[in-house]
Amino acid sequence: MSLSLDHISLVVGQWLQPLLQRLPPQVQDVLLHPFAPKAFLVLLTFAILRETNRSLTNWSMNNGERVEKWNADRELVLLTGGCSGIGKQMVSDLAKTRVRVVILDIQEPSFPLPSGVTFYKADITSSASIADVAEKIRAAQGDPTILINNAGVGYDGTILEKPEAKIRQTFEVNTISHFLMVREFMPSMIQKNHGHIITIASMASFIGLGDMVEYSCTKASALAFHEGLRQELRLWYKAPKVRTTVVHPLWVRTPMIKILTDAADFKQPILTPEMVSGAVVKQVVAQRSGQLILPSYYTPISMLRAFPNWLQEYARGVGSKDFVKLRAGQQKQH
């Protein structure tokens, strides 16, 4: 026997009526409208589908493995680029969880290190430098169990304007270093079938804008790196409990893009390092794989390449025009 939508709505309405009688008359008039049960049913269906999707995503991203309880004493976090910006905030927030943290950075910290935090100077674009510092870390503290590839650089300017050295440096720091760090520190995670590799990408992973072409390229590659890494861990190395997370922040108020975010006519949402760090640390403690888009209401941008080409081009144009306006404003000031 099949039930029609009208019949289901009638049943829902009869079930809700005793509950609604306790509400003010004005609210009852709205909720007892003939269309109210159907609307409720649609919302309920949407909620069920949403939760089902979340559950399936969580199950798939974590390879069907049970998530272990967080034990700070068991973990050692290795964070690149921890001396400024988002990385500096992560150091502070991670230290509050009482987990040990190791910072790798080319620059010295300009702030007192919290308890349990150690700094090593290293060039993460050099496999020799990484290998040298890795030996020191293992001797003093053991193998890192959580790797956060956070270090990143970016420069404004068009393809023709930007020096070759800056283009190469952007790829070396934002892309190549991920491979070098994983090659050095992932084998111990595979051996123990325990760990977490977090890739700090960007909303630029999904959309290429003018004036930041090489940066967009490196962040698109960071997403591809994360996706391929997941497959190798699961299928090649049989290490399903080594978690992986990729993070896509929108604009973040850091020194790297200060000239952009401080511009009076820049109208796009701007995150703080605290917002990004809080989301990453929460993911670390949860010990779950995932994809974080910040702010979350920008999630539709991740599906941009599924849109018609004319709509994709419009979205890229809107973002790129902000840089054109900024450049015009700078020229007026000079």
At 314, the amino acid letter reads Y
Would you call 298 a catalytic residue per the annotation? Answer: no
Task: Give the closest residue to 262 by CA, choosing from 331, 200, 329.
Answer: 329
C-alpha torsion sign, points 70, 55, 274, 315: positive
Write b or e for each residue in 288-327: b if 16 or more Cβ atoms lie within 10 A of its Cβ, otherwise e. ebbbbbbeeebeebbeeeeeeeeeeeebbeebbebbeebe
Would you call 215 a catalytic residue per the annotation? Answer: yes
Long-range residue pairs from 91-97, CB within 8 A, at least 24 positions apart, any chain: 91/117, 92/277, 93/274, 93/277, 93/278, 93/281, 94/281, 94/284, 97/70, 97/72, 97/281, 97/284, 97/285
Cβ-contact 196, 244 below 8 angstroms: yes
With a CB cutoff of 8 Å and minimum separation 6, the contacts of 138 are none
**Interatomic CA distance for residues 140 and 132, integer angstroms:** 13
Q: Quick one: DSSP state of residue 106? A: S
DSSP secondary structure of 38-67: HHHHHHHHHHHHHHHHHHHHHHHHTTTPPP
Q: What are phi and psi of 120, to 5 degrees?
A: -130, 130
Quote the radius of gyration of the chain (alpha carbons, Å): 24
Active-site entry in 38, 162, 219, 297: 219
Active-site entry in 88, 162, 166, 215: 215
Strands 117-121 and 290-294: unpaired
Count of CB atoms within 10 A of residue 208's CB?
Answer: 17
Q: Which two tokens stand for residue 171?
A: 């790829």
149's enclosing H/E stretch is: strand 146-149
Cβ-contact 206, 156 below 8 angstroms: no
Catalytic residues: 215, 219
